[in-house]
Amino acid sequence: MKSFNTAWRNIRRSPYQAFAAILIMTLTFLVVSFFVFILVGSSKIVSYFESVPEVTAFFKNEASQEDINALENELSQTGKISSVKFVSKEEAVEIYKEQNKNDPILIEFVTADVLPASFEISAYEIEDLGSISEMLKKTPIVEQVIYQKDVISALTAWTSAIRKIGISLIILLSLVSVFIMVTIIGIKISHKKEDIEIMRLIGATSWYIRWPFIIEGIFYACIGAFVGWTIASGTLLYTTPFLESFLKGIPVLPVSYLSLLELLGLELILAVILGVLSSFLAVLRYLK
Amino acid sequence: MIKFDNVSKKFATGTVALSDVSLSIDKGEFVFLVGSTGSGKTTLFRLLIRDILPTEGKVFVNELEVTNLPKNKLPHLRKGVGVVFQDLKLLLDRTVFENVALPLEVSGINSENARLKVEEVLRQVGLNEHKDKFPVQLSGGEVQRVAIARALVLAPQILLADEPTGNLDQSTSWEIVQILSEINKKGATVIMATHNSDIIKNMNKRIIHIEEGKIIKDEKSHEQKPHKETHRNEKKADNEKEPKESKEEKKK
């Protein structure tokens, strides 16, 4: 309890140092939170695509209705297809307009001629998508085949790139914040050198002297984590409506409050680790 | 209780602070350590609480070999030895009360008990009405008493006072010595380093003279076998000296 009072007094008496320490920790945890959102979000998107086995085949302009019907028959005979939905050029325009209703300029230049008609084909098993898409590609009236394998591999490539950048950034920021905290706590220790010497001479144990500094480190890190998390979560909740319309039916959002709280818990644990680590380094370095 | 066994201390600068000092002080003794500045008095004290280690020899406190004490036992040793430092070593940003409470705080004594003890010790040194002041707001004699109170608050068996009357006037010095004497009467071993010869003469206690790191004379106290004549002579000498000193003070 006494250590808490001493730590609190130390914090109050040097507000600028406290502010610097909290700020760097806030930045670190802000980045941690955002990357967690992005990573969790993108992996959810990937698994969504994996769970819905769908192939889209776009037809060439010259494709006749008979050819299309023949293809539909051929597809249903494979026994792998659960449904085939034909999307005409007109329907494609409607869908496009619906998706971009907030952007009149985009709608203005798009007519039914520009957009191809297509089949939206659902399979029973994701493994069958490969063979179905091969079959469609061989069909002369099909211009282009898009199926999740492409989407998934593109997404996976992006996710792993983001993950690498994110983890490097988090490690870099954690290191920076630890070093800044070591410096700040080191300054405080040097500043109180005389007091520490006196306390030693009247019988203070090393831990009695160390605890307030360690508590101080934990305090800065936890406040930083909380502020960083609050800003990141606030931003996420604020942009949820926009992101939902952008993700068009992919069930990623809204993020539940429970998982946000879980994230806060994990970040606080990380904060305690960073705080203890940096104040411990400072104590070892400056308190011999 | 306290024993120095052929102790020498040479500092890294080359200064020899103590050379081959052997000394033993019994429990409950009141000892004056007399010598000029730089004679090694403070070094002797610092060795006792192991602020420094001797170059040679052994130091014992309460049958404990201080020179061979593991580091984690140091707080235990230091809590048992109260020290009034020459430079007092008070925390200037804490009040009198907080300064005196510090050893209790360090020992983890709960604040209610600590408050009672601190108030008791402050009464003992006559500072209770100043307990909320800061050291800079006090007079020389008062801060000295704060330092004594802090050294006493854990009721140590040994009290070391390094020049506690260093720059105090005659009557204040006398008050300080009376306080130390009271503590000694309650059973604590008191070692006081000083060069104030008047006090030493009036107190009739054991006097250890130290010069250039060596003990040159160890005068036992006459208390056990009182020698009326010497006692009277000493007092007489004092009476003669006093007016002279007060004149000097006026000149200052």
* A33 three-state secondary structure: helix
Q: Is-contact B140 B172, C-beta < 8 A? A: yes
Question: What does the pLDDT read at residue A158?
Answer: 79
- What is the distance between the terminal CA atoms of chain B, rounded to a whole angstrom? 42
The answer to whether the Cβ–Cβ distance between B150 and A205 falls below 8 Å is: no
Interface contacts A/B by beta carbons within 8 Å? 40
* A120 three-state secondary structure: strand
The answer to whether the Cβ–Cβ distance between A204 and B106 falls below 8 Å is: yes
Give the strand order in the sheet containing B214-219: B81-84, B158-162, B189-194, B30-34, B206-211, B214-219
Q: Does the structure show a pLDDT above 90 at A272?
A: yes
The answer to whether the Cβ–Cβ distance between B51 and A201 falls below 8 Å is: yes
Instruction: Read off the pLDDT of each residue in A93-107 and give the average, rounded to a whole number.
Output: 74
Shortest distance between the Cα of B45 and any Cα of chain A, in A, equals 12
Q: Is-contact B4 B59, C-beta < 8 A? A: yes
Residue A201 with chain B: CB contacts under 8 Å: 49, 51, 78, 83, 85, 89
Shortest distance between the Cα of A287 and any Cα of chain B, in A, equals 14
Residue B118 with chain A: CB contacts under 8 Å: none
What value of ipTM does the predicted structure carry? 0.78
Count each helix (H run) and each strand (E run) in chain B, helices first.
8, 10
- Global pTM reads 0.69
Burial of B153 (C-beta count, 10 Å sphere; 0-12/13-18/19+): buried
Question: What does the pLDDT read at residue A193?
Answer: 87
Count of CB atoms situated within 10 Å of the CB of B194: 23
Measured CA to CA, the distance from residue B9 to residue B67 in angstroms comes to: 12
Measured CA to CA, the distance from residue A104 to residue A98 in angstroms comes to: 11
Shortest distance between the Cα of A209 and any Cα of chain B, in A, equals 9
The answer to whether the Cβ–Cβ distance between A202 and B91 falls below 8 Å is: no
* B192 three-state secondary structure: strand
> B120-147: buried (b, 16+ CB within 10 Å) or exposed (e) per residue?
ebbebbebbebbeebbeebeebbbbbbb
Question: What does the pLDDT read at residue A149?
Answer: 66
Shortest distance between the Cα of B227 and any Cα of chain A, in A, equals 40
The answer to whether the Cβ–Cβ distance between A203 and B72 falls below 8 Å is: no
Instruction: Read off the pLDDT of each residue in A224-248 and give the average, rounded to a whole number.
Output: 85
Q: Consecutive 10-residue runs of chain B (252 residues): their mean pLDDT?
A: 91 90 92 89 91 92 88 88 91 90 88 90 89 90 90 91 84 87 91 85 87 88 50 44 42 42
Residue B102 with chain A: CB contacts under 8 Å: 198-199, 202
A162-213 residue pLDDT tens: 888 888 988 888 888 888 888 888 888 888 888 888 988 988 888 888 888 8
Instruction: Read off the pLDDT of each residue in A139-153 and give the average, rounded to a whole number.
Output: 72
